[in-house]
């Protein structure tokens, strides 16, 4: 039996049930939950970085967005609030749309 020891989406146990396989899960406490969300963010970001095509890239970005949403909810926030913060930063410092790559700055 493979051991996963990782945070999974809420419907995964029901999906496994449909296969007739046995499994073991437990509910995380809040401290464990945020740690596992951070691990999941790294996992999904790594999968995005390693994606080879548009479809895979978008799939992994969607997974990463789901994790970001869960972290926002954990902190009593929403994606809308996070996007508002993003927009404020864009107004103040710009976005990444112009593909500017900083080489160095004189001291």
Residue 64 pLDDT grade (very low, low, confident, very high; cuts 50, 70, 90): very high
Report pLDDT digits (tens) over 92-102.
999 999 999 99
Residue 57 has pLDDT above 90, yes or no: yes
Residue whose C-alpha is closest to residue 40's, from 16, 14, 5: 5
- Spatial neighbors of 64 by CB under 8 A, at least 6 apart, are 41, 44, 45, 48
What global pTM score does this model have? 0.88
Q: pLDDT tens across 7-33, in order? A: 999 999 999 999 999 999 999 999 999
Whether the pLDDT of residue 80 is over 90: the answer is yes
Mean pLDDT of the 65-87 span: 97
Q: Residue 31 and residue 28: Cα distance in Å, rounded? A: 8
pLDDT at res. 1: 79
Judge contact between 36 and 28, C-beta under 8 A.
Answer: yes
Number of neighbours of residue 64 by Cβ within 10 angstroms: 18
Residue 18: both structure tokens together: 């449909």
Mean pLDDT on 40-50: 98
**Cα(63)–Cα(45) distance, rounded to whole angstroms?**
9
């Amino acid at each position: 039996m493979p051991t996963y020891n990782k945070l999974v989406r809420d419907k995964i146990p029901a999906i496994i049930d449909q296969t007739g396989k046995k499994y073991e899960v437990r509910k995380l406490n809040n401290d464990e939950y945020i740690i596992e969300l951070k691990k999941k963010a790294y996992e999904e970001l790594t999968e995005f970085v390693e994606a080879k095509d548009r479809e895979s890239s978008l799939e992994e970005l969607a997974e990463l967005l789901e994790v970001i949403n869960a972290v926002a909810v954990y902190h009593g926030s929403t994606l809308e609030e996070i996007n508002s913060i993003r927009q404020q930063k864009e107004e103040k410092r710009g976005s990444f749309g112009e593909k500017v790559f900083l080489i160095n700055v004189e001291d």
